[in-house]
Amino acid sequence: SHKCNRVDSDAKDSCSTIHIAASLKNLTKMKGIIFAFVFSVNIPICIGRNVQALHAYDHVHKPGLSSRELKLADEGRPSETTQSPVVCEDDPNYADGCPRKAAVTNYCTEQEEFMRRHCAKSCKFCSEASTAQPTTEAIKPPAPAATTGPTEKPLKPGEIGCADNPQFKDPCADIASTPGLCQEQEDFTRKNCKSSCGWCGRESEKPTSPVVCEDDPNYADGCPLKAAVTNYCRDQEEFMRRHCAKSCKFCKGASTAQPTTEAIKPPAPVVCDDDPNYADRCPEKAAVINYCNDQKKFMRKHCAKSCNFCGEASTTRPTEKPPKPGEIECADNTQFKDQCADIALTPGLCQEQEDFTRKNCKSSCGWCGSPATKPPIQEICDEDAPKWRHKCPIWAAMGECEIRRKFKFYEHYCPKSCKFPCKKEPTVNPNATKPPSPPAFCRDRDRNCEWWKSFGMCENPGRNSSMAVYCGVTCGFCKAPTPEECYDKGNNCQELKNAGLCSSTRADMEYEVKTNCLQTCEFCGKGL
């Protein structure tokens, strides 16, 4: 038994072997009862002590396991260890897109079921997971960042320095690559994209510059024009507030002047280049003959380089002479210069939009001149023409008088209902020589000839043939044939005569025979 007592100190398996050998040696000297006692008592004791020694060995080589856990392991029963904490990560299959989606306002909540499953970390759903497991060690606060100088305060725990938030690294790069998007999404980018968007530096170290209220340079040319349209700023407020704040007068509380702490730099010289948004297409468009001139307004703005408009731009303005008295009044409003030119090109449109054009298009629409030199306002006619007198008030109420293509008709038949000034009949001088009457074959066959002429149709080469047929007198196409010209110009005159068409009153046929079949139809010498 003294040998078995050493098992506690050396923890070896030889104990049971030694004791068995000793018992067998004395077997011949002892009776059967002693033999039974040795095998029934001493061997289990040694084996039990050996097991205890092995448990002591396990405690040395398996730290952290309790005696109860070791015992349960020996018995083949599962241990009672706590479950490992839940790891909250984004789904690897969606990890690249999770930060970008999570950066969109309310996206995590609107798509909660999907985002909770695949983007829990980016959407900060981790805090809603199972309660944290107890830890054996206290969580240490993050070490303060190293200071760069005595005047700088250390960053607060958890504060990101002048670097992009790693969660939004790719979105920050995308945002920074789009001009103006850093400012447009300032709340997000100041927090997460400091480096990419150039928000680095402490706010306390920067002088607070006043908000400068200007129109977006990319839209500055069009802002005044849009803002001049009634209610346009309000109807399109979101867009106009962002791009045309100055023109729409959204600048309450903002300053239009630059801060006075820095000297205002002179404007950089104008860089003549193609608009990046159209640069790929500019050379192709410019290669089309006359395209640059036909679409000059657009191409000057977007494709100046390709169209060789660069020489027309100048960083310095020529010296302007002071305007003469009254000269300022007789000029187009610079805000509507192009619009005035378009209006003036359309006959009658200056008068149709008189309120606007008198105010903004004086030069283009010919409203210049002092009130003294303008003709007196004509009085409204006091009656409509008898033919349509019963219909005129109805047409006027329907707005027909405002339709430009019907202006001549209503001016003649419904001057009272349409509130048109009366047209005075020209006074006839009895002593004046009367102009020669046009030849019989040449006459106006359309009652709207004066109207067509006012639109320049008489001078339109593509309309000459039709205007000669229907408005020969008004357009001045009439000319009596000389004896030398009294011959047939057509090769089907005899057929027309046989068909009785020499005396036709149909406009086109009358013109045909009296122009091309003078001899066959016997019009010569008849005072055509």
Q: DSSP for 330-365, please give it.
A: SSB-GGGHHHHHHHHHSTTHHHHTHHHHHHHBTTTT
What is residue 155's predicted lDDT score, i.e. its pLDDT? 41
Cα separation of 392 and 400, whole Å? 9
Give the predicted TM-score (pTM) of the model: 0.20
Rg over alpha carbons for the chain, rounded to the nearest Å, is: 51
What confidence tens digit (pLDDT) does each residue in 292-323 have? 887 777 888 888 888 888 765 433 333 444 44
* Dihedral sign for Cα atoms in the order 370, 371, 373, 377: positive
What confidence tens digit (pLDDT) does each residue in 2-51 have? 444 444 444 444 444 445 444 545 544 454 444 444 444 444 444 444 44
Burial class (CB in 10 A: 0-12, 13-18, 19+), 243: buried
Least confident piece of the model among 199-213, 354-368, 410-424: 199-213
Burial class (CB in 10 A: 0-12, 13-18, 19+), 192: buried
Q: Assess whether pLDDT exceeds 70 at residue 227.
A: yes
Q: What is the mean pLDDT of residues 450-459?
A: 77
Cα separation of 59 and 79, whole Å? 16
What is residue 348's predicted lDDT score, i.e. its pLDDT? 67
Identity of the residue numbered 98:
C
Higher pLDDT, 255 or 294: 294
What is residue 113's predicted lDDT score, i.e. its pLDDT? 84
What is residue 479's predicted lDDT score, i.e. its pLDDT? 65
CB under 8 A, 24+ apart: contacts of 279-287: 282/306, 282/307
Identity of the residue numbered 513:
V
Torsion from C-alpha of 520, 521, 524, 528, nearest 10 degrees: -150
Listed in sequence order, the residues at least 6 apart from 202 whose beta carbon sits closer than 8 Å to its beta carbon are 152
Cα separation of 469 and 442, whole Å? 8
Q: Assess whether pLDDT exceeds 60 at residue 136.
A: no
| Block residue for tokens 């006359």 | 290
What is residue 527's predicted lDDT score, i.e. its pLDDT? 46
What is residue 15's predicted lDDT score, i.e. its pLDDT? 45
Mean pLDDT comparison of 67-71, 206-210, 406-410, highest-scoring range:
406-410
pLDDT mean across residues, the chain: 67
What is residue 356's predicted lDDT score, i.e. its pLDDT? 85
User: What's the 3-state SS for 26-56?
Assistant: CCCCCCHHHHHHHHHHHHHHHHHHHHHHHHH
Between the CA of residue 232 and those of 241, 242, 247, what are the distances in Å? 11, 14, 11
Cα separation of 92 and 36, whole Å? 69
Q: Assess whether pLDDT exceeds 60 at residue 220.
A: yes
Contact 337, 228 (CB under 8 A): no
Cα separation of 477 and 381, whole Å? 34
Listed in sequence order, the residues at least 6 apart from 519 whose beta carbon sits closer than 8 Å to its beta carbon are 486, 487, 488, 493
CB under 8 A, 24+ apart: contacts of 202-206: 202/152
* Dihedral sign for Cα atoms in the order 30, 34, 36, 41: negative
Cα separation of 507 and 229, whole Å? 48
Question: Helix axis angle, 67-74 relative to 43-61, nearest 10°?
Answer: 120
Between the CA of residue 320 and those of 71, 323, 324, 328, what are the distances in Å? 104, 9, 12, 13
Q: What is the mean pLDDT of residues 116-127?
A: 84
Confidence of residue 212 (pLDDT cuts 50, 70, 90): low
What is residue 367's predicted lDDT score, i.e. its pLDDT? 82
